[in-house]
Every structure is written in structure tokens, then in C-alpha cells.
Chains A and B, each alone.
Chain A
Amino acid sequence: MSRLPENDNKNRIDHYRRKLLGAGAALTGAATLGPGVFFTSIARAKPDAEPVSSEVRWGFLIDTNKCVDNCDKCVTACNDEFNLTGFGRPETDAQWIRTVTLRDKKTGHTTKLPLMCQHCAHPPCVDVCPTGASFKRADGIVLVDKHTCIGCRYCMIACPYKARSFVHETIENQKEYGPRGKGTVESCTLCVHRVDKGEIPACAEACPEKAILFGNMNDANSDIARRMASTASTEIRGDLRLDLGVRYQGI
């Protein structure tokens, strides 16, 4: 079904209008902040009618040194954001983010880190999906299109990070922006509904230590890119060469 021509026209006008407004806002921002100082975070929201672009690569940089023992605020924030209520069955209950504690057997040193979908540039879940439901958006966010997911769970097997969950039960308390249903696979969406509005994901927002830094890895001026350039960071199972969208410091 193609769009009606007048809609297209209207969208185009809106698009230009938004661009103009955006440029105006950017100039105002620059003027108030002073020369050379720009808000380089994701304050700039994408216009609604514009598709996401591959010029952007959203990602997390997680500083495990800041991750505090006995804190699970990122996990709680995620569960609240999408109403991931459990059924008392930890083996199968939905889990989009979890905390993992690593212990160095030799030294006994422990490291705690939050682990979610790593939003690979070469996602194995997408490779194995028989229906094309598992896909990567142009801006690097790996998602499940639940309209085409048949619940075969190949992606869950393929994922090296065990990032995906299968919905076993009838769900009734969905959020408006977070549809979830029985018989489909789901995982961290990088809070795509927030990101498209120019906001940061719920876990990053909730972290009291600011251990989770969200941003556009492709933008050399972004906080995340600058910190990645200045401090050492690594991928979990980097040997798989999946080019992850989530990088860690301190492991």
C-alpha cells in the first residue's frame, strides 16, 4: 500500500520545516553555550518522518570499575520500563539485562558488569533467523520484528551472550511503546522508543554511578567516542569479531 501523494507532500514539508527548526535550535544552542562548546550528546532527536541512518551507530560504553556490588538499578529500570514481570520461573522469565560477576580464579578479584544484547554489527541472531524477523536497524540497533517472529528460538541458540528471552506466557500489561507477546523472542531494544525521541536508554538513565554511557559511536565528538579514544575498552568475546555496540572498561 503506497502512501497517498498529498501525505508525501505534507511529510516533505514537515521534513523541511523540521530541518529548518533543527538548524535554528542548533544555532541558538551554540550561541548560548559559547564558541567551541556544543551539546554533542544525543540531544538532537531524529525527525519522526525520517528513517534511521547508518551514519549513526548507537552503543554503550560501560565502566565496570564504577559498577557497585549489590546494585541492580539498571536491571530494575529495564524491568519497569517494559513491565518485564516474572512468573517465578527464573529459568525462563524474560531477562533483557542482567548483572554478571566475574572472578579471576588466580587472584580472586571480582568484576561486576551489566550484560545485555551487545548489538553486534554482525549479529549471529540475524544470520540464523529463518523469517527475517531478527534484524539490525541502520543505526546498529538489533531488534526482533515480532510481526514476523515465529518463535523458533534459533536466535537464542546463536547468541553468544544469551541475551534473548522467549515469552512463554500470555502477557497483558504491555506498555504502549513496548509490545510483547507470547510465542515471540525478545531482547534489549536499546530503548529504541527513547532513542528515537532523543532520550537515553532506561538503564543508562537509572545508573547512579553513571557507569553506562550511551551515545553515537560514529560521531567523533560524542562523549562515548571521545572516551573510547582516550581510555582502553574491550568487547566481551571480541575473538568472535562481531563488532559489538557495547564495550566495557575495566575487564
Chain B
Amino acid sequence: MKDKSKIQSAGLIAFIFAFFSFEVIAGVPVPDIPEAVKGEECVEETGFMRRNHMELLSHQRDDTVRKGIRTSKHSLKNCFTCHIVKGMDNQPVTAKDPRHFCRECHDYAAVRVDCFQCHTSIPGGAKTTGARP
């Protein structure tokens, strides 16, 4: 009887230990950032990009729209030359898909970007449909 309760308490301790150590190892869930398709480095250092990509994008945006400066380094278009996620059909997924590069972190941070209400979210954009009633 004594032995049984010993085993039980040992089991409980083991379980608690395992539970907490698992928590410590796994940590809080983090976004699984998809690998870039090509290139070793981003246009700027990765840490800088994670913090400042929005600033670079909006700066480039104003330069392009207002002044016609079309350098591609910090353009949204340039992001998609490397940061694309392909679906089962081997085609790049759009921002509608939670696997999309931008959404992976933005969903996690609960930040909804409105870029893709107007901009295409895949490289090359849509093909000509030619359909017009």
C-alpha cells in the first residue's frame, strides 16, 4: 500500500516535471517564418527588416507614386521575388492564404495590413483576363 502511493506520487512528480520542462523547451509558440526562396540575405539586415520593413515600404511607396522613383530595392514587388510560399499546386499562395509570407507574422501579431486590398500579393500579379461584359 505504501509502495503504491510512493509510485503514485513519484509518477505525479515525474509528470509535473515533464510538463514544465516541455513548456520550458517549447516556450511560447512563435510564427514559423517561411524561408526565402533565393538569396542569402535580405535587402537589409534581417533584424533591421523585421523592425523597419514598414518604414522602408512606405518611404518607397511615396517616392514611387509621387516622384516616379522606381528603384526596386525597397519595393513591395521586390519582397515577392524571394518571399513567396508555394501551395500544393506549386503556385505562390496569395495573401488570402494564412501561409502567405506576410501573414505568418502579421496574423501572429494581430496586425492586419491593407496592402493587399489593392496590391497583388503574388509575384507578377494577375494575368490578363480579358473578360468584360
Contact = CB atoms under 8 A, between A and B. Distances in A.
A93 to B, nearest CB: 8
Contact of B126 (A11, A173, A184): A173
A137 B132 contact: no
Contacts of B77: 176
Given A138-B67, A182-B117, A80 B128 contact: yes
A142 to B, nearest CB: 12
Contact of A196 (B62, B68, B117): B68
Nearest to B70: A48
A176 B68 contact: no
B61 A181 contact: no
Contacts of B58: 1
Interface string A161-197: 0000000001111111111111010000000100010
Interface in A122-160: 135, 137-139, 143, 145-147
Given A1-B56, A84-B132, A147-B65, A11 B120 contact: no
A247 B123 CA distance: 37
A143 B65 contact: yes
Given A86-B132, A179-B120, A174 B72 contact: no
A173 B126 CA distance: 5
Interface in B104-124: 117-120, 123-124
A174 B118 contact: yes
Contact of A3 (B59, B66, B131, B133): B59
Interface in A45-98: 46, 48-52, 79-81, 83-86, 88
B8 interface: no
Interface of A: 1, 3-4, 7, 11, 46, 48-52, 79-81, 83-86, 88, 135, 137-139, 143, 145-147, 170-182, 184, 192, 196
